[in-house]
Amino acid sequence: MRWQREDNQVQDLPGAVPEALERPKATAVPEHVAIIMDGNGRWAEARGLPRVAGHRAGMKAVREVTVAADDLGIRVLTLYAFSTENWKRPRDEVDFLMALPQEFLLTELKELIDKNVRVRLIGDPEALPAHTRKAVDEAIRVTSENTGLILNFALNYGGRMELVRAVRALAEAVRDGRIDPAAIDEQAVANALYTRDLPDPDLLIRTSGELRLSNFMLWQLAYTELWFSDKLWPDFRREDLFAAVEDFRRRDRRYGGLR
Ligand code: IPE
Ligand code: IPE
Ligand code: MG
């Protein structure tokens, strides 16, 4: 595998995109990959560190996986960063997690802009602290014209809450005579979700060995291929994303039909 460096030196690099997954040939590379980034706390505890050290280490994995997804030609990368249930955690941990977007964007925003990445958010921004919201809003604003990878953070996101919002919006539209109940079909529901203009995930990755969805994208994952890893999120590397994508490419997606 050859790799073009910025100084135009071509060289072999570990962790370069495997030949079979390179962009021009990668017709079956998933368009949308969603990741439940789990195991930060256990990663820290195993090292005798406070849980928040795991969250900070997890940011490195976010950076590496974002670059890897871009290298693969993935169009949308959705990262589950904070669920509507994560507010139940101790105040200190929640405060730390709410400071991370700002910290991440402070160091990464320039590179994201250089890479033509567009930052987006799914979830309810209302409940976020002002500093978190400001950092995310700024990243969304300055990358809004970018046409490359969509880096979609699920922040204060819950699948059930998203569906409740959609039901409410549709009920209001019926009440106001803007939509006939008989016209509410799957497309109408999909259009009332945060993801209205995004394709459903093709591939869902969850790290840390947990085999559950934890309220993530309940509508959108209906036909998504699932891939679980025992690795804790801070240990997740670009090679792990490549392995998941290679596995995805061997799957036979039938959508209820026959092959
Ligand atoms: C995932 O790691 C990050 C968030 C949920 C914000 P955890 O913090 O859930 O780590 P574990 O599952 O306790 O190891
Ligand atoms: C899911 O992980 C949420 C995120 C990764 C942001 P959790 O660690 O909160 O999930 P549970 O509690 O194990 O189901
Ligand atoms: Mg967890």
In this prediction, residue 208 carries a pLDDT of: 98
- 167 and 142 co-located in one domain: no
Q: Is the pLDDT of residue 172 over 60?
A: yes
Cα 146 to ligand 3 centre (Å): 32
Token pair recorded at residue 235: 């240990």
Nearest CA, atom 10, ligand 2: 214
| C-alpha–C-alpha distance, residues 203 and 237, integer Å | 17
State mean pLDDT over 236-244: 98
pLDDT bin (cut points 50, 70, 90) of residue 14 is low
AA identity, residue 37: M
Domain that holds residue 152: 27-156+201-209+220-248
* Residue pLDDT, tens place only, 115-149: 999 999 999 999 999 999 999 999 999 999 999 99
Query: Do 130 and 177 reside in the same domain of the chain?
Result: no
The pLDDT value recorded for residue 15 is 74
Let me know if residue 18 belongs to a domain.
no
Q: Whose CA is nearest to atom 9 of ligand 2?
A: 86
215 part of a folded domain: no
Residue of minimum CA distance from atom 12 in ligand 1: 39
Which of 1-10, 208-217, 241-250 has the least mean pLDDT? Answer: 1-10
pTM flag (> 0.75): yes
Q: Give the pLDDT confidence of 20-33 residue by residue, as tens digits.
A: 666 544 458 999 99
What are the Cα distances from residue 108, in Å, to 60, 65, 114, 121? Answer: 11, 13, 10, 16
> Does residue 256 lie within any of the structural domains?
no
Residue 55 and residue 107 in one domain: yes
157 within ligand 1 shell (Cβ under 6 A): no
233 lines ligand 2 (CB under 6 A): no
